Amino acid sequence: MRTKNSTSQQESVEQRVSDAVAEEQEAPRAETTEDSGAPLETDALETAEEVQSDTPTRKKRIRRKITPEEEKTISPGHSVWPLVLALALIVLFLGIILHPIVLVIGIIMLVGSAVGWIIERH
Amino acid sequence: MRTPVFKRKKSRWLTLSAGLLLSSLLLAACGENSPSTLNTYGPVANSESFVFWVILIIAAIVFVVVEAILVYSVFRFRERPGMPNPRQIHGNLLIEGIWTAIPMVILFIVLFFTIRGLFEVAPSAQPQGGQTVEVEAVGHQWWWEFYYKGYKITTADTMVVPANATIHVDLYSNNVIHSFWVPALTGKTDVIPGHDNTRWFKADESAIGKTFVGICAEYCGTQHANMRFNVQVTNNNDFMTWVTAQQQAAAVPAAGSLAEQGKKIFEGQCVSCHGIVGVNLKADNTNQYGYSDPMAVCDAGACLHGPNLTHFGSRRLIAGGVLEWNPKDCDPNDPNLLQKCALAQWLHDPGAVKPGNEMSQSIQSGTLNDDQIRQLVAYLESLK
Amino acid sequence: MATRVVGDSATTVVRKRSFSESYIGEWLTTTDHKQIGIMYIFIGFFFFLVGGMEALLIRSQLAVPNGKVLSPEEYNQVFTMHGTTMIFLFVIPFLAGLGNYFVPLMIGARDMAFPRLNAFALWVVLFGGLFIQSSFLIGQAPNGGWFMYMPLNLTSQGVPNAAEVVNGLNADFWYLGTTLLGVSSIGGSLNFVVTIFKLRAPGMSINRIPLFSWMVLVQAFLLLFSLPSVTTASVLALLDRHLGTHFYQYTTGGDPLLWQHLFWSFGHPEVYILILPAFGIISEVLPVFSRKPIFGYTFIAWSGVAIGFLSFTVWAHHMFAVGLPPIAQAFFATSTTLIAVPTAVKIFNWLATVYGGKLNLKTSMLFALGFVAMFLIGGLNGVALAVVPFDYQITDTYFVVSHIHYVLFGGTALALFAGIFYWFPKMSGKLLNERLGQWQFWLMMIGLNLAFFPMHILGLLGMPRRVYTYPANLGWNELNLIATVGAFMIGIAVVVFLYNVVVTLKNGQKAGNDPWDAFTLEWDTTSPPRKYNFLHIPVVRSRRPFYDKKNPEIADWKTVTH
């Protein structure tokens, strides 16, 4: 169930990004599109080469080949665990003040959400 | 580029801050009723305020120079139509070096005065020889107790000291942290349980006859705001007279007088917290609090929590400096006693005067009826 | 750090809308540094309003002698919570928010290094803040002053002779709450350190990252090294209070001063934690509106690092009155005096940046200039506090209150507003109204000087801090009234700002991507930026990459080497 959920998240992100990419590939030519008025880095590749020729000694590391990467590694996926873990922590602290039962609930929540956090896949 | 009403408002602000600066100096100089740190009457406070004037002059020069450059730049380099782009300067090593060095020099001058002044007022700088009066000051929640070791006198709220003598104060607390501070005579020294700090100061000849405000300066709970005391400076003769008077046991009221009835009430209700030499304290036993041994724990009854009242009638401040009282307003037979007399108001309902104080735990409005208050006022007044 | 390009992948699957796609869920489960940054800023601002209300309560109570607005107990809770709220719940989250939003954009990264840790830190701040504030609901807010000295905050079991100590939950809320906030700050700081060290765009060497990122980096290190101290101190306090240990109990051989040393060895770096990113904001805003590069980048960056190191050596200047040996006091006076040098260097560099520029006096710039003018006062009266003999007189008086407010309000808060006016268009796509902005600026400048300047004099006239009332015969009445008027002017200025934000979001002027003709990478993308920030990760060849891109013929990398 959880795995399925996160996969669908990734897909949706990919979908949105690929939309955006499509939009931007057109935008630079039009330049009037309000949403993407900025000149985007369409010339990043050229720039990198230019750098090599200008100062070949200092800029060596940019020579690496630029590979397109998957969107999911670029934008982190959504995750509910940070919120749950924070809630667990606060329940635990409230437990210290209020009642041992609350403390126990807090500890259980903390362990549970930590496990959830760890096994969550991206 | 339009810069609306900028000039006018900037100069208004400048006038304002200049005005504030000037008025500050004036106020500091003339704040006569205030416990001003600049209106000083002793060598310790003098050297503390001297370094203030040093730092004020230096800071004022730096302030004026830097703000002038800033304001000048704002006016001079404000964007105007057709203004070309400025030269793109990224830095200058020489200039950086210069303006690292200048503050260094200025700050080392400040540091010189700091360290010199620090050793001038340090405990090790206490003058040897001459008359020395040793006082133990004990911070309570929320009043000050003063025990004169050499004379075996315990008093509260008012510290009487002779001019020109070195006053050596041992600072004790068996509860929370307080801070001993008499702005006109000396800066602060914290009164920390377990750390027996000391402080020395001297009052000048010119201070004779003056009374200075002392303040607890470390936050110590609900009534931290009302933990003041007075320091009364006298000449040596008056001081010795005062000492002799304070060394006597408490006055015994005449039989059948109002005051004698007051004494009975005192013996019935007040002795669990307050001590009076000759009533529930022995003369050589004025130091009741175990503060010389701060590790000692006071069980109920083993030490008294309230001020020693042996010579209460000779004091003018009560309740940790909240109320000033004058026997003239406190004629026990006056029907309007409660309206006029601070002491009567205190006895009527201490919690209304100083919410949260320890006495309000046992005395609320109605605990003592008006007659009892009259009798107690008469008795306490008689304890000169 | 290879230069990355977004690849296309097209998959369409028919499926149910998940929780993370609903509007609320989107925000609750986000790990996007920009959304997290915005939430941080909202949380910070919310607590700024809370702390501001508390400040107005304080000033109402003190407006006239023998004020009756609050009871002594209420007053003590309110002033404690004012300090705690403003320091732990306003400034730190607000700075974390700006840092979260702009550090990745400035260094050309797609997100923070640990997105989920980032979200976790955010939620802990929110819950921790609500946890501390919730103490008001049961009438037991912390009441020991924002530095919670011992043994006042022990239970009466630990201080048997005291007439009053804190037996209720008040202190527990503080110790637990700040520990929680510490957890959050540690997470956030780790994230900043790793992000800045590992995720910089190609060519963005450490001596090219924008100064705001530099200062956030130093701040992150300060948090990492100072928080353990206060966390330890708090845990020891809780043990003393509840399990009967004796760390701070003098009757059983503990030492109340242990708390002060532990607290201030956090507390003084903390002051720089609150101000360093503000220095960074100023170092971003001044050059852009002066149309010049920052003067002495290296000196500003390294003086920040110097301040960071020195800030760990000055803690006992908060404790000059506790009776340390004179030689130790001389040491701390020296280190405190020394720390003024790098601060002065910064101020001179800002002046040199402005000098000879072409000043575009937008609201953001006004706030930045106001910062320099006001922070100078805070710096100078700070040096006065390092003058030990004088410090004996004015420590724990309103002089100190004045100092901290010139530094943290005249300093940090003005810088935050400079940052907000500067970056709001990037975050929202709309320009804040300049007219209202100027109103706010002048109200704040006049208000803060009215409120805080008289406090210098009050301190010199012997008014101690943390008093819930004062008698009428000590000559403090007029100055207190002036301070109250000033505080309410600041309150009005904040209302103007809120109005400005609402109006702007509703129908503000569109900003475009680069409204200020700025120099750094965050402006080289859309407003607001897309989720992945940059389509192509930019390649950087100088400290002003976007300036280079816009002015290729006079680019920095052609004219200077750095």
The secondary structure of residue B195, as a DSSP letter, is B
C68-C74-C80-C83 Cα dihedral, nearest 10 degrees: -60
Q: Is the pLDDT of residue C17 over 90?
A: no
* CA–CA dist C221, C272 (Å, integer): 11
Residues C128-154, mean pLDDT to the nearest whole number: 91
**What is the pTM assigned to this prediction?**
0.88
Active site residues of C: 82, 111, 146, 184-185, 268, 270, 272, 283, 317-318, 343, 346, 465
Candidates B122, B262, B95, B278; CA nearest to B197 is B122
The larger pLDDT score, comparing residue C284 to residue B369, is at C284
Which of the other chains make 3 or more beta carbon contacts under 8 angstroms with chain C?
A: A, B
Interface residue of C336, C341, C393 to substitute, partner B, most B CBs within 10 Å = C393
Hey, what amino acid is at C378? G
Q: What was the pLDDT predicted at C412?
A: 95
- Inter-chain CB proximity C19 and A15 less than 8 Å: no
- Inter-chain CB proximity B219 and C556 less than 8 Å: no
* CA–CA dist C8, C297 (Å, integer): 40
Q: What was the pLDDT predicted at B364?
A: 86
> What's the farthest any 2 CA atoms get from each other in chain C?
80
- The CA R_g of chain B, rounded to the nearest whole Å, is 28
Q: How many CB atoms lie within 10 A of CB A108?
A: 13
**Out of B83, B120, B193, closest to residue C358 by CB:** B83
- Inter-chain CB proximity A82 and C173 less than 8 Å: no
User: pLDDT tier at C227 (50, 70, 90 boundaries)?
Assistant: very high
* CA–CA dist C22, C106 (Å, integer): 30
End-to-end CA separation in angstroms for chain B: 79
Sequence-separated (6 or more) residues with CB below 8 Å from residue B237: none
Over pLDDT 90: what percentage of chain C? 78
Q: How many CB atoms lie within 10 A of CB B142?
A: 28
Q: Is the pLDDT of residue C422 over 70?
A: yes
Is residue C110 less than 8 Å (CB to CB) from chain A? yes
- Inter-chain CB proximity B188 and C380 less than 8 Å: no
- Inter-chain CB proximity B192 and C323 less than 8 Å: yes
Sequence-separated (6 or more) residues with CB below 8 Å from residue B240: none
**Out of C20, C179, C180, closest to residue A78 by CB:** C20
Candidates C562, C547, C532, C462; CA nearest to C105 is C532
pLDDT tens by residue, C458-488: 999 999 999 999 998 888 999 999 999 999 9
Q: Is the pLDDT of residue C184 over 90?
A: yes
Element (H, E) at C41: helix C33-62
Q: What was the pLDDT predicted at C556?
A: 85
* CA–CA dist C357, C352 (Å, integer): 9
User: pLDDT tier at C401 (50, 70, 90 boundaries)?
Assistant: very high
User: pLDDT tier at C282 (50, 70, 90 boundaries)?
Assistant: very high
Is residue C505 less than 8 Å (CB to CB) from chain A? no
Determine contact, residues C216/C280, Cβ cutoff 8 Å. Answer: yes
Q: How many CB atoms lie within 10 A of CB A45?
A: 14
Residues of chain B with pLDDT under 50: 1-9, 285-286, 290-292, 294-295, 300-301
Average model confidence (pLDDT) across chain C: 91
Average model confidence (pLDDT) across chain A: 60
Is residue C10 less than 8 Å (CB to CB) from chain A? yes
A78 contacts in C (CB within 8 Å)?
A: 20, 25-26, 29-31
The larger pLDDT score, comparing residue C409 to residue C536, is at C409
C365 contacts in B (CB within 8 Å)?
A: none
Give buried/exposed letters for B209-219 (b at 16+ CB in 10 A, else e): eeebbbbbbbb
Q: What was the pLDDT predicted at C10?
A: 46
Q: How many CB atoms lie within 10 A of CB C552?
A: 9
Interface residue of C74, C164, C211 to substitute, partner B, most B CBs within 10 Å = C164
Q: Is the pLDDT of residue A57 over 70?
A: no
A11 contacts in C (CB within 8 Å)?
A: 11, 13
C528 contacts in A (CB within 8 Å)?
A: none
Alpha-carbon distance values, C301 to B90, B237, C47, C214 (Å): 14, 65, 30, 6
C345 contacts in B (CB within 8 Å)?
A: 96, 99-100, 103
Alpha-carbon distance values, B193 to B1, B286, B356, C159 (Å): 64, 21, 22, 10
The secondary structure of residue C209, as a DSSP letter, is S
* CA–CA dist C502, C436 (Å, integer): 12
User: pLDDT tier at A46 (50, 70, 90 boundaries)?
Assistant: very low
- The CA R_g of chain A, rounded to the nearest whole Å, is 23
Determine contact, residues B151/B247, Cβ cutoff 8 Å. Answer: yes
Q: What was the pLDDT predicted at A51?
A: 41
Over pLDDT 70: what percentage of chain C? 97
Query: What tokens were used for B187?
Result: 């800066």
User: pLDDT tier at C158 (50, 70, 90 boundaries)?
Assistant: confident
The larger pLDDT score, comparing residue B304 to residue A85, is at A85
pLDDT tens by residue, C298-348: 999 999 999 999 999 999 999 999 999 999 999 999 999 999 999 999 999
Hey, what amino acid is at C379? G
Q: Residue C464 phi/psi, 5° resolution?
A: -75, 155
- Inter-chain CB proximity C3 and A48 less than 8 Å: yes
Q: What was the pLDDT predicted at B6?
A: 47
Place of tokens 């906030």: C181
The larger pLDDT score, comparing residue B154 to residue C58, is at C58
